[in-house]
């Protein structure tokens, strides 16, 4: 029997069905080792030697794999067919060699681009060795990312308190977002006018034509700059005679695009389905690893991390057969279409993303898939099938028209198209093609050369130029791909990291840099410009590709990089924070010191008048403050462009507390507006609740805020006080150490004892239901467990978020966002929890015994470990 190692249990389950009893398929659950998150894991002074660490869950899985290999005839490493997959196989092999589990047993590496029976059996019949250069490229990339992160981040922490960290690819992606924001800020709108005529043919058919030339001058988009010019031209055209000079009908063809790559799939799923990059990849992973389709488990799509655009000959043959059946022979080209990658640095030797079997129509597969899977499979199938279809045949008609009014003349043009044969559009259209279809819909009536036209109306419309749009996830991925930054497998993780670090936020699917992100980018551009240059990052990616091709030695690349990078870091360490801030004052001037309506110096302090505003650093990050501190206490949050409003709220007197006689003031701090009673360290302060604008705060509201928490009354059953307040998670009631949420801030000040008792009782009942076996509603469903037993879900419990499968509840690691949990992460947590509990929950009455046993075990372990030492 041979042991086969793959990444995920879902993949293992599918492959096990194909291989039969002579094989034991085990999952590594992704990477089994990683560099420890501490300084010294990569050591440049020791020729870039690296320390690898195995965490708890991985240790158990490796123990299982080791035990199985010792009893097996051989080892087959069948991880994914990319750099990361090769690395996982290498890590597993290294651990097994260290444990001396292999001896002289054969080790083979197999790869398959699709998880279908034929693909798996073909791969098993054609094994190879681990690809050394591909592993070297992984090691170089991992070392580079580690060295940049663990060398640059401490510099950020010292020079820019509040900054999280910096990464090799993430920092460049962040720069793209910040550069676009700066471009928008610098943009100056320009007014322009467009003029169109509604004309009628002698056959009473009307159509629209746009002005293209006036008084012998061809007009560009911005040439008509104001209403006066527009009205003058409009008046001339209203008295003009119109005549058709020429009508030209020109047939054109529009060819289909290639099947999806990783980046084009992410872009299309974003624009058409509203999926984030990470959501797209999670859904695609399930489609790749295998779906139960009526008793048969099969991967429905090929491997989804690729920048290749070609399809295997047998796939092309399958697509052509399906085209003939579903669309007809007219839609089938005489010869198969071939595509080549246009992306910079495209290097993956994989197929494009396509269905594993084109005869599995989306309409037939829908019954086996959840909503997201059905949508994504439909998108992939249509794009792949359209790539092998006939081009669309379109007839484009252009009509040139002369307008004459005495000596003055003008030229107008009408354009329309009609689709003569839809071709591949019958299956799929991308955004550009849909825009073209809108134009195609503007079909012109019959117009003959030389005939006169009747004027119906002349319209002059005002427009302004628009700034470039902020990046969406899709457009940022496209731009990164064009520049050669990152790789297919890194895009989703890069965007998620930027959001997790609070460097960018996503609003209406657009990426907006946070003030923290702008600050980090400005710092890196000012002092590490080379390492956030697009060309430099792209050239480093090219070197990594050359390593994977065996053309460069990976340690030579690291030596060249480290020599210059470490010298740059050493130089920055000598800089004073004041020098750093002044450089950032200049770089971030539009953000830090926005122009004022009255034209005064944006850096002058609006409170004291004599001080100069500057960036300042506090424990929790950067803010804007006055140079006359502490005499002048003016501060403003970074990115708050309402400088004048900040000055007003910095010290607005609201009166005095009638009970204490202390002054009550509305202030504005680095964390936002707040009210304060008294002065000094002992002053009582309260932040304004969400939704309360500073300008609406008066003495009454300030007193109400400063009086919190408010006593509502004693509970009739316990006799203990119920209080209402506003906390980190919003308005609440507190009774006997237990909290219950209130719906609004206003409820904090108005809730009475009866409603409070009722709300607390409802909350207690919901907690009791949980203790009695009731389960909180699922926040997210991850699909069926590969071993059966029901669905895996993510839920919010009394003690925090957790993943659930059957009777097993596994708490999420601290800081893990519940909605970002992947199937692989959930399975690992569940497996670890099941290992600890034997897969069953112990009865409540035995909990004390369990604790005692655990203490004894821990004591024995500690004693044994001391003896070993």
Coil/strand/helix, residue 629 = coil
Per the listing, tokens 């019958």 go with 426
C-alpha dist (Å) from residue 351 to 116, 126, 282: 15, 18, 19
C-alpha–C-alpha distance, residues 236 and 234, integer Å = 5
Q: What is the pTM of this model?
A: 0.68
The interaxial angle of helices 515-527 and 577-587, nearest 10 deg, is: 110
Burial class of 707 by CB neighbour count within 10 A (0 to 12, 13 to 18, 19+): middle
Catalytic one of 303, 331, 471, 491: 303
Answer CATH for 140-187+469-579 from 3.40.50.300, 1.10.460.10, 3.50.50.60, 3.30.450.20: 1.10.460.10
Could you tell me the fold of the domain covering 2-130?
Rossmann fold (3.40.50)
Coil/strand/helix, residue 300 = coil
Structure tokens at 797: 């419990």
CA nearest neighbour of 649 among 633, 684, 673: 673
Segment holding 23, helix H or strand E: strand 23-27
The interaxial angle of helices 132-159 and 534-548, nearest 10 deg, is: 150
User: pLDDT by residue (tens digit) across 63-94?
Assistant: 999 999 999 999 999 998 888 889 999 999 99
C-alpha–C-alpha distance, residues 451 and 401, integer Å = 10
C-alpha dist (Å) from residue 54 to 31, 40, 813: 9, 16, 17
The residue ranges of every structural domain in the chain are: 2-130, 140-187+469-579, 191-255+393-464, 262-390, 592-706, 710-771, 778-843
pLDDT in the model for residue 362: 95
Cα 802 to chain centroid distance, Å, stands at 23
**Which residue ranges of the chain lie beneath pLDDT 50?**
344-348, 436, 438-440, 641-650, 769-773, 839-869
**Sign of the CA dihedral 357, 361, 362, 366?**
negative
Query: Same topology for domains 2-130 and 191-255+393-464, yes or no?
Result: no
Vertex 730: Cα angle to 726 and 733 (nearest 5): 60
Q: Please confirm, yes or no, whether 18 is among the known catalytic residues.
A: no
C-alpha dist (Å) from residue 15 to 63, 288, 785, 824: 21, 12, 16, 17
Answer CATH for 262-390 from 1.20.1300.10, 3.40.640.10, 1.10.290.10, 1.10.10.10: 1.10.290.10
Asked if 515 and 671 count as a contact pair (C-beta separation under 8 A), the reply is no
Coil/strand/helix, residue 699 = helix
CA nearest neighbour of 827 among 5, 6, 16, 10: 10
Per the listing, tokens 């990115």 go with 639
Other beta carbons within 10 angstroms of residue 254's beta carbon come to 19
C-alpha–C-alpha distance, residues 235 and 256, integer Å = 46
CATH number for the segment(s) 191-255+393-464: 2.70.20.10
Contacts (Cβ under 8 Å, ≥6 apart) of 722: 711, 712, 713, 714, 715, 733, 734, 735, 753, 756, 757, 760
């Amino acid at each position: 029997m041979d042991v086969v190692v793959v990444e995920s249990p879902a993949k293992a389950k599918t492959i096990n069905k194909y291989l039969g009893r002579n094989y034991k398929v085990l999952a590594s659950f992704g990477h089994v080792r990683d560099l420890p998150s501490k300084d010294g894991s990569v050591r440049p002074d020791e020729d870039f030697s690296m320390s690898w660490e195995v965490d708890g869950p991985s240790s158990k899985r490796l123990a299982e794999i080791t035990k199985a290999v010792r009893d097996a005839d051989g080892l087959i490493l069948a991880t994914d067919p990319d750099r990361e997959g090769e690395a996982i196989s290498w890590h597993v092999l290294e651990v097994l060699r260290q444990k001396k589990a292999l001896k002289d047993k054969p080790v083979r590496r197999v790869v398959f681009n699709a998880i279908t029976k034929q693909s798996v059996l073909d791969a098993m019949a054609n094994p190879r060795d681990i690809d050394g250069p591909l592993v070297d490229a992984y090691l170089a990339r991992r070392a580079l990312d580690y060295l940049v992160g663990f060398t640059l981040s401490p510099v950020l922490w010292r020079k820019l308190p509040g900054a999280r960290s910096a990464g090799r690819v993430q920092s460049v992606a962040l720069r793209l977002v910040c550069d676009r924001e700066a471009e928008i800020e610098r943009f100056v709108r320009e007014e322009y006018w467009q003029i169109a005529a509604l004309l009628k043919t002698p056959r009473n058919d009307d159509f629209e034509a746009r002005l293209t030339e006036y008084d012998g001058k061809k007009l560009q988009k911005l040439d008509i700059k104001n209403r006066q010019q527009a009205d003058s031209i409009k008046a001339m055209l209203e008295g003009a005679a119109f005549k058709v000079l020429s009508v030209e009908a020109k047939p054109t063809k529009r060819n289909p695009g290639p099947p999806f790559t990783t980046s084009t799939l992410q872009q299309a799923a974003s624009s058409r389905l509203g999926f984030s990059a990470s959501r797209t990849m999670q859904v695609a992973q399930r489609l790749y690893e295998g779906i139960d389709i009526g008793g048969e488990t099969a991967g429905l799509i090929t491997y989804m991390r690729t920048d290749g655009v070609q399809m295997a000959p047998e796939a092309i043959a399958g697509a052509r057969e399906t085209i003939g059946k579903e669309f007809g022979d007219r839609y089938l080209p005489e010869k198969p279409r071939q595509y080549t990658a246009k992306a910079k640095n495209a290097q993956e030797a994989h197929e494009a993303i396509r269905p594993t079997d084109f005869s599995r129509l989306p309409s037939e597969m829908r019954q086996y898939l959840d909503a997201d899977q059905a949508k994504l499979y439909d998108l992939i199938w249509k794009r792949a099938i359209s790539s092998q279809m006939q081009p669309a045949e379109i007839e484009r008609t252009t009509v040139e028209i002369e307008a004459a009014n005495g000596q003055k003349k003008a030229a107008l043009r009408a354009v329309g198209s009609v689709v003569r044969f839809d071709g591949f559009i019958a299956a799929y259209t991308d955004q550009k093609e849909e825009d073209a279809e809108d134009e195609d819909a503007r079909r012109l009536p019959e117009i003959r050369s030389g005939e006169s036209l009747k004027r119906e109306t002349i319209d002059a419309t005002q427009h302004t130029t628009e700034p470039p749009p902020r990046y969406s996830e899709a457009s940022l991925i496209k731009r990164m791909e064009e520049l050669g930054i990152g790789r297919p497998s890194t895009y989703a993780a890069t965007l998620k990291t930027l959001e997790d670090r609070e460097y960018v936020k996503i609003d209406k699917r657009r990426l907006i840099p946070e003030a923290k992100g702008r600050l980090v980018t400005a710092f890196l551009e000012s002092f590490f410009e080379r390492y956030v240059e697009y060309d430099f990052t792209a050239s480093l990616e090219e070197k990594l590709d050359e390593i994977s091709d065996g053309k460069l030695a990976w340690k030579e690349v690291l030596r060249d990089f480290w020599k210059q990078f470490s010298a740059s870091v050493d130089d920055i360490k000598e800089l004073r924070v004041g020098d750093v801030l002044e450089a950032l004052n200049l770089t971030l001037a539009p953000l830090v010191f926005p122009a004022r309506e009255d034209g005064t110096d944006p850096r002058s302090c609006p409170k004291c008048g004599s001080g100069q505003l500057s960036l300042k650093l506090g424990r929790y990050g950067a803010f804007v403050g006055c140079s006359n501190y502490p005499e002048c206490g003016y501060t403003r949050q970074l990115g708050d462009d309402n400088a004048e409003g900040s000055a007003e709220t910095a010290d607005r007197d609201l009166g005095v507390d009638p009970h204490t006689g202390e002054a009550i003031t509305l202030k504005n701090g680095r964390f936002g507006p707040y009210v304060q009673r008294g002065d000094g360290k002992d002053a009582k302060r309260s932040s304004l609740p969400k939704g309360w604008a500073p300008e609406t705060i008066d003495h009454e509201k300030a007193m109400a805020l400063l009086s919190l928490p408010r006593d509502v009354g004693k509970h009739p059953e316990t006799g203990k006080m119920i209080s209402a307040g506003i906390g980190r998670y919003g308005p609440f009631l507190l009774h006997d150490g237990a909290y219950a949420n209130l719906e609004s801030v206003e409820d904090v000040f108005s809730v009475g004892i009866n409603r409070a008792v009722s709300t607390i009782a409802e909350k207690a009942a919901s907690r009791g239901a949980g203790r009695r076996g009731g389960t909180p509603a699922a926040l997210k469903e991850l699909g069926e467990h590969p071993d059966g037993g029901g669905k895996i879900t993510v839920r919010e419990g009394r003690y925090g978020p957790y993943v659930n499968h059957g009777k097993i509840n596994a708490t999420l690691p601290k800081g893990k966002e519940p909605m970002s949990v992947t199937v692989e992460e959930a399975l690992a947590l569940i497996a670890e929890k099941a290992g600890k509990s034997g897969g069953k929950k112990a009865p409540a009455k035995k909990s004390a015994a369990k604790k005692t046993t655990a203490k004894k075990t821990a004591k024995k372990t500690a004693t044994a470990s001391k003896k070993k030492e």
